[in-house]
Amino acid sequence: MHIAQVHDWSEGPRYVTVDDPPAPTETQIQLRVLAAGLHQVVRSRASGQHYSANSLPHSVGVDCVGRDVATGKLYYCVNMQASFGSFAELITVAKGTVHALPESVDPLSFAASVNPGMSSWLALTQRTSNLPKSYTVLIVGATSASGRLAVFVAKALGAGKIIGVARNEAALAKIEGLDEFIVQKDPVTDTDFSQVDCDIVLDYVYGVLTLHLLSTISVPRPLQYVNIGSLSRDEIAIPSALLRSRDITIRGSGPGAIAPQIIQHEIKRLVPTMAGWGLPGAHGVPLKDIEEAWQDKSLQSKGRLVFIP
């Protein structure tokens, strides 16, 4: 069969031939992959820059939608182990890593959505505490794939008000479910957070924008900040005086911060919830074209990419 595999971190994935996976045992299931999402974490792992996978050869992909070879039933599968790769024609995995889907689900849209949606779901369910009723969420990086889905997730988990932050005003205005939005200025320090009143910050950007936000926001109650991503690729130093002068709780959310068994448990809650949403479409790319597509900037700008065998 064919898979996408990395043999040199500087080269990116290659379309290679390998042996078919072994037949499933009683505790396993074999899926024929229909669609595997190209998420930010997939790119990071494939470049050797993510802490969850740093050895070669690296098989690409962390999740997929596929059909059970034996029964034809539809499943979503996710596995963050370094040895796993979902950009393949067939995978044999533990039954505990798959989740049944209704036939009404579009495999491409679903494969593109669960991983980015899971980021905010885990942040809100596992990395916050004692949330007030109808809490307010500020999403930094709201126009990203994960940020857009965080709006759906926050509402499903009880948020009463959602505020988005991003550079593109036109894109912010089109996001369904946002109650307010703040346009990021250039320079970042011109962005006005002084009137923001929220309980939680979900941050996909990090960097100077985050430092400015935490330094200038004035909330008259405890503020919970959760870092989920670092799209800015910048690191910052948070002054100790800022931490002592505000009632701010700072956490991160991701593999390592949350135990694998808890992640699997939460996915069991998230998957049926998402199956009922009208998810936006995704752009499918044949797996055999991965080497060209990986470098194609115009294709990447489409967003929500999935690879199909």
Question: Residue ranges per domain, the chain?
Answer: 2-115+258-308, 128-252
CA nearest to 154, candidates 174, 138, 170, 132:
138
CB neighbours of residue 104 within 10 Å: 8
Strands (E), 128-258: 136-140, 161-166, 180-183, 200-203, 223-227, 248-252
The sheet carrying 200-203 orders its strands as: 180-183, 161-166, 136-140, 200-203, 223-227, 248-252
pTM: 0.86
DSSP 59: E
Q: Domain 128-252 falls in which CATH fold? A: Rossmann fold (3.40.50)
* pLDDT reported for residue 305: 87
**What local confidence, expressed as pLDDT, does residue 301 receive?**
60
Distance CA 63, CA 298 (A): 24
As averages over each run of 10 residues, the pLDDT of the chain (309 residues) reads 96 95 96 95 90 90 97 95 94 94 95 95 97 97 94 97 97 95 96 96 97 94 95 92 93 90 91 90 93 81 79
Q: Would you state the pLDDT for residue 223?
A: 97
E strand or H helix at 188, and its extent? Answer: none
Q: What is the 3-state secondary structure (H, E, C) of 190-208?
A: HCCCCCCCCCEEEECCCCH
How long, in residues, is the chain?
309
Q: Tell me, what's the pLDDT at 82?
A: 86
Superfamily in which the 2-115+258-308 domain is placed by CATH: Medium-chain alcohol dehydrogenases, catalytic domain (3.90.180.10)
Model pLDDT, residue 303:
61
